[in-house]
Amino acid sequence: MTVSGVPGFDTPSFGLPGQHLPAQTQYEDGAIVDGVHYHQHDIVIVGAGGAGMRAAIEAGPHANTAVISKLYPTRSHTGAAQGGMAAALANVEEDNWEWHTFDTIKGGDYLVDQDAAEILAKEAIDAVFDLENMGLPFNRTPDGKIDQRRFGGHTADHGKTPVRRACYAADRTGHMILQTLYQNCVKLGINFFNEYYVLDLVMTSVDDGKGGFIDQPSGVVAYALSTGELHVFQGKAIIFATGGFGKIYKTTSNAHTLTGDGVGIIWRKGLPLEDMEFFQFHPTGLAGLGILLSEAARGEGAILRNSEGERFMERYAPTIKDLAPRDIIARCMATEIREGRGGGPNKDYVFLDITHLEPAVIDAKLPDITEFARTYLGVEPYTEPVPVLPTAHYAMGGIPTNVAAEVLRDNTTVVPGLYAAGECACVSVHGSNRLGTNSLLDINVFGKRAGKNAVEYVKTAPFVPLPNDPAADIRALLQMLRNSTGTERIAVLRKELQESMDSNAQVFRTEETLTEVTEVIENLRERYKNIAVQDKGKRFNTDLLEAVELGFLLDLAEVVVYSARSRKESRGGHFREDFPLRDDENYLVHTMAYLSGDAGSADAVDHIKLSTKPVVITRYQPMERKY
């Protein structure tokens, strides 16, 4: 049997359900057995971005907690978030959490689970105050309250007018959140294992008390970048907070490290992924680069214009214009370009215009994004409009969880002791399109919930025994990659994947384009069997890690495309030109993708099975989405 999810490698599988591996008593904390280091903690958190560190702050004072990160924590991608964090504080204008709930549901094109949206909006207020009490330096109103600004899709009184709901720290809100959370983790003495790359979730088959077996998480296997040694972290509870997978696309706002490792690991364990076809394309990435210019610019009054100087969003969304939800604006921009109203020599971008704003306002509230325009495009935002184009930004889908952040093995069954939060998770609070500022809110609300619920779980849960030699599969995989003598270069395959995803599965999709990218991925899987890792060493072997990351990217791109082919409608971030209408009768359901059979097969149907999951509707029935 091939490694589940790793194309073409004939190595043992990663403990798929039903193997019932022989278990042994737990390894002693600090033990080194056959060169593998063993650690034992009550709670093991994978990922040190906003969600992971917020979970750690909740868990650390009550349980022995470890945070494992492939990066130094303050380099996590949360720091790239710019614009703000939504909460109905009503500090500047009248607002309430019910309006926030409605905007989240409507913005997600009614694929949002409404019980989750209510929790997000209600707990948003305390989430902001938590950060304020931790020391986060929010911008302030003249009377000292947390200042708030407008953001796309956020309205007062159920869509009647834009509202100032985004709490912010200039255009560095994510950076400030990340620094604040890390400082508080240090204050609490949280155990960090930085530059440790988690490659596997260890599952142990245990007696379910009903005459059968159930697979439970018992730990994770990590590769220490500085030494090349393997480490096994045994935990009563495991929290995944590993972020997104935007690097399946070429034009993306995501950092190079966002290769979907956590989501890919869950997929390879035979657990499902939810709503993977829904990927958000942020309207204002720097043209040709994808580096993000925050929606905060439009919140402060920036205007999108075509090559004729027209404020074209007035035609598409006359009520809230440039503050329409991201999926709508991205499609409108693409339409303007398609119809010949794009700018530049190739007419392939539109413009973000802030020249009418006072330089003092720009400097005070938008310092980073204007500097990006100067540095990367040589454009002076004071006097020139900035070329922008939609960029792959955020995965709405991911690891399915309930509102307690517990991971699900099907539509309802919880995997005991396994949690997920942040972009890697699908609650589903974003539905088919996430509203701006709800991501920083999501990591704080559900990161906190993950930590809190993990603490309650470990109070009574025992350590699940590890299987014998839990690092064996990863050791074999890494050795095989190091010893590879193929002719295919990792960077070449990754580039071909990303370019095909950009061309065929971005803002607009059809059966034809999705079929084309499916065939590209199948071909890349075959070529991946013949990759060459040039660096044969152990210390900081980024060539080796990029080979592993490429495997995850191929897995996740295939699930995205296969799920998109099955959804024959347009909704949120998923727009099918051959099925341009939303179809609630047939598709008001979540897509659940399962790994089935041999992931090394060239036939996607052989190893991806799809089912559906009902959308939770409490108060708001689906209606036409007008802005």
Buried b (16+ CB within 10 A) or exposed e, 477-511: bbebbbebeeeeebeebbebbbebbbebbbbbbee
What mean pLDDT do residues 478-497 have?
93
> pLDDT at residue 527 above 50?
yes
| Better-predicted residue by pLDDT, 411 or 26 | 411
Instruction: Give the per-residue pLDDT at 54.
Output: 98
| Best CATH choice for the domain 282-393 from the list 3.90.700.10, 3.10.28.10, 3.40.640.10, 3.20.20.70 | 3.90.700.10
CA 475 to chain centre: 28
DSSP E strand stretches across 443-574: 488-489, 531-532
Confidence tier at 613 by pLDDT (50, 70, 90): very high
Question: Do 362 and 372 contact (CB within 8 A), yes or no?
Answer: no
Query: Over 50: is that where the pLDDT of 345 sits?
Result: yes
Task: Give the pLDDT score at 1.
Answer: 24
pLDDT, mean of residues 237-263? 96
Neighbours of 452 (CB within 10 A): 16
Give yes or no for a contact between 154 and 168, defined as CB atoms under 8 angstroms apart: no
In this prediction, residue 7 carries a pLDDT of 39
Instruction: Check whether 611 has a pLDDT greater than 60.
Output: yes
Residue count (the chain): 627
Residue 294 annotated as lining a ligand binding site = yes
Q: Is 70 annotated as a binding residue?
A: yes
Which residue did the predictor score with more confidence, 8 or 462?
Answer: 462
- Is 511 annotated to bind ligand? no
Mean pLDDT score, 455-464: 96
* Secondary-structure breakdown of the chain: helix, strand, coil percentages, each rounded to the nearest 5: 35, 25, 40
Q: Give the sheet arrangement for strand 148-156, strand by strand.
A: 85-86, 161-167, 148-156
| Beta bridge partners of residue 303, listed in sequence order | 353
Residue 496 clears pLDDT 90, i.e. is over it: yes
Q: Which residues are catalytic?
A: 326
Confidence of residue 471 (pLDDT cuts 50, 70, 90): very high
Beta-strand (E) ranges in 129-261?
148-156, 161-167, 191-194, 196-207, 213-224, 230-240
Average pLDDT over residues 463-471: 93
Q: Check: CB of residue 326 under 8 Å from CB of residue 282.
A: yes
CATH class assigned to 472-582: mainly alpha
pLDDT tens digit string along 114-154?
Answer: 999 999 999 999 999 999 999 999 999 999 999 999 998 99
pLDDT given at position 207: 77
pLDDT of residue 209: 75
Is a pLDDT exceeding 70 seen at residue 5? no
Do 532 and 618 touch, CB atoms closer than 8 A?
A: no
- Measured CA to CA, the distance from residue 615 to residue 430 in angstroms comes to 12
Cα dist. 192→14, 71, 195, 470 in Å?
A: 26, 11, 10, 22
Other Cβ atoms less than 10 A from the Cβ of 391: the count is: 28
Is 261 within any annotated ligand binding site?
A: yes
Letter for the amino acid at 358?
E
DSSP code at position 94: -
Using CA atoms of 294, 296, 300, 305 in order, give the dihedral in degrees to the nearest 10. Answer: 40
- Does the annotation flag 82 for ligand binding? yes
> What span, in angstroms and rounded, lies between the C-alpha atoms of 216 and 478?
25
Q: Measure the CA–CA gap between 292 and 62, rounded to whole angstroms.
A: 38
Across the range 220-236, mean pLDDT stands at 97
**How many percent of the chain have pLDDT more than 70?**
94
The pLDDT confidence band at residue 255, using thresholds 50, 70 and 90, is: very high
Establish whether 546 is an annotated binding residue: no
Greatest alpha-carbon span in the chain:
73
583-603 average pLDDT score: 81
* 440 in a labelled binding site: yes
Scanning the structure block, which residue is given the tokens 């869950």? 266
So what's the pLDDT on residue 19? 44
pLDDT (0 to 100) of residue 598: 53
Residue range 249-271: average pLDDT?
95
- Domains of the chain, by residue range, sit at 282-393, 472-582
Residue 21 pLDDT = 46
Backbone angles phi, psi at 556, to 5 degrees: -75, -35
Residue 431, annotated as binding a ligand = no
Confidence of residue 228 (pLDDT cuts 50, 70, 90): very high
Is 52 part of any known ligand binding site? yes
Q: Is the pLDDT of residue 543 over 70?
A: yes
For residue 376, pLDDT beyond 90: yes
The Cα–Cα gap between 69 and 575 comes to: 35
Q: Is the pLDDT of residue 25 over 60?
A: no
Is 282 annotated among the ligand-binding residues? yes
What's the mean pLDDT in 3-8? 38
For residue 40, pLDDT over 90 is answered with yes
Eight-class DSSP state of 485: -
Are β-strands 488-489 and 531-532 bridged in parallel, bridged antiparallel, or unpaired?
Answer: parallel
Sign of CA dihedral 189, 33, 25, 237: positive
Q: Please, are residues 24 and 621 in contact by the beta-carbon 8 Å criterion?
A: no
Cα 163 vs. chain centroid, distance in angstroms?
Answer: 26
Beta bridge partners of 39: 233
At residue 31, the pLDDT reads: 87
- Whether the per-residue pLDDT at 10 is higher than 80: the answer is no
Distance of CA 349 to the CA centre of its chain: 26
71 marked as binding residue: yes
Check whether 412 is labelled as a binding-site residue.
no
Average pLDDT, the chain: 92
Determine whether the annotation assigns residue 154 to a binding site.
no
Nearest to 357 by CA among 386, 325, 332, 329: 386
